[in-house]
Amino acid sequence: MKLCTVPRCERKHYAKGYCELHYMRVRKYGTPEGGPTNHAPPEERFWRGVNKDGPNGCWIYERGLRRGVYGRFQIGGKGSKHVSAHRYSYELHKGPIPEGMVIMHSCDTPRCVNPDHLRAGTHKENTADMIAKGRKVVVAPKGEGHLKARLTEELVLEIRSSTKTNRAWAERLGVSITCIRKARVGETWKHI
């Protein structure tokens, strides 16, 4: 009986000198040892997905994505948990993440895993950072500036001084009775 030509493999010959397993690896990866993800330690697999030539000194994690934005890394084999790549990089370089802390990016690049761009902070600090850098809108526009505004300041003042019913105003303006009632009693349009 003919055996596989790979050292220490005692499986039956399948094709071109290899057993079926090694033959499929040769077809897929070009080598009987297998591809680049063949049982490597987590740290080695992590670095395979990192491109250190990103803009502004960022190291971009180019493999899986979490929420379509953050890099996602699977620590173990199939079925093991996924972690955010930037959190894994932080723990790899700086140690465990303190309880209840988030990892913040000084570069504002979610897929960056450069430890020089990462620091631990609270949710409050992260939100303050987003606001300071203009990445989070703090106050929704008021009145007519709001995207869903159906009334104008002039109409609201008219509604408040009018003796017409809420239903009459709603029918006239094509809005709900609740919209008119809230504007009339000051639940909405508080700024006027």
Same domain for 53 and 86?
Answer: yes
Task: Give the whole-angstrom CA distance, residue 112 versus residue 109.
Answer: 5
Q: Is residue 138 part of a domain?
A: no
Judgement on whether residues 47 and 127 belong to the same structural domain of the protein = yes
DSSP string of 102-167? EEEESS--TTB--GGGEEEE-HHHHHHHHHHTT-S--SPPPGGGSTT--S-HHHHHHHHH--S-HH
Residue 26 falls inside a structural domain:
yes
Residue 80 lies in a domain: yes
54 and 104 part of one domain: yes
Alpha carbon distance 101, 123 (integer Å): 7
Residue 13 belongs to what domain range? Answer: 1-35
Instruction: Classify residue 174: in a domain, yes or no.
Output: yes
Q: What is the pTM of this model?
A: 0.54
Query: CATH number for the domain including 98?
Result: 3.90.75.20
Q: Rounded CA gap, 15 and 23, in Å? A: 7
Q: Count the neighbouring beta carbons within 10 Å of the beta carbon of residue 62.
A: 14
Say if residue 46 is in the same domain as residue 97: yes
Q: 81 and 159 share a domain?
A: no
Write out the chain's pLDDT in tens, 192 residues. Answer: 899 998 888 899 999 899 999 998 888 777 787 765 556 788 888 898 899 988 889 999 988 777 668 888 888 766 678 889 999 999 999 999 999 999 999 998 889 999 999 999 999 999 888 888 887 766 667 888 888 888 999 999 999 999 999 999 999 999 999 999 999 999 988 888
Total domain count for the chain? Answer: 3
The encoded tokens of residue 107 equal 């570069």
